[in-house]
Amino acid sequence: MQITGHEINRIVLKRGEIASRVKELATRISLDYQDKDLVLIGVLKGAVFFVADLIREISIPLTIDFISISSYGQDTDTAGVVKLTKDLEEDIKGRHIIIVEDFVDTGITLSYLIEILRLRQPASIEVCALISKTGNRKSDIPLDYYGFELGQEYLVGYGMDYNEDYRNLPYIAALEPGKQKTT
């Protein structure tokens, strides 16, 4: 398959596989957070599809908010320089929050985000990631909920992008080697 001049190497996760796992995660969250003041915090832009599908499956009341952070480094690696580009609108003090990410790779950016949010005194902070990438973790971030554990392929689709392309794919695919982002 070719989209905007780049080739998809293979489909890693089909739409049905993703939907099934999202439903399982939502069921666990619904049980774990019964009778708690829950705020889901989606990390823009990649987690938008995951957040939307997840909240439709969660069966308890919740509040949703979004935050955006950028990490700057060489090539596709995070150098540890992180900048908050969109802050929360909700007050999270005393509330239970779950940070919702599309994927966690090194954990550096997520570690920074957790520290920022911890200063706001929530009752608890947990993390829900659709994908936990293995083998490159530099920060010991516990993933309380995750959908799939995958390797280091460059993934696109279901919110994940290559230069802002591919986010709209209803599945998750690996880009052909050599097509990864270089800036």
By annotation, the residues acting in catalysis are: 105
Residue 112 dihedral angles phi and psi, to the nearest 5°:
-60, -45
CA dihedral 56, 108, 172, 53 (to 10 degrees): 0
Bond prior to 45 in cis (omega within 30° of 0): yes
- CA 106 to chain CA centroid, Å, is 13
Q: What is the per-residue DSSP string for 32-66?
A: HTTTS-EEEEEEETTTHHHHHHHHHH--S--EEEE
DSSP 82: E
Contact (Cβ atoms closer than 8 angstroms) between residue 94 and residue 123: yes
Q: Which residues pair with 172 in a beta bridge?
A: 13
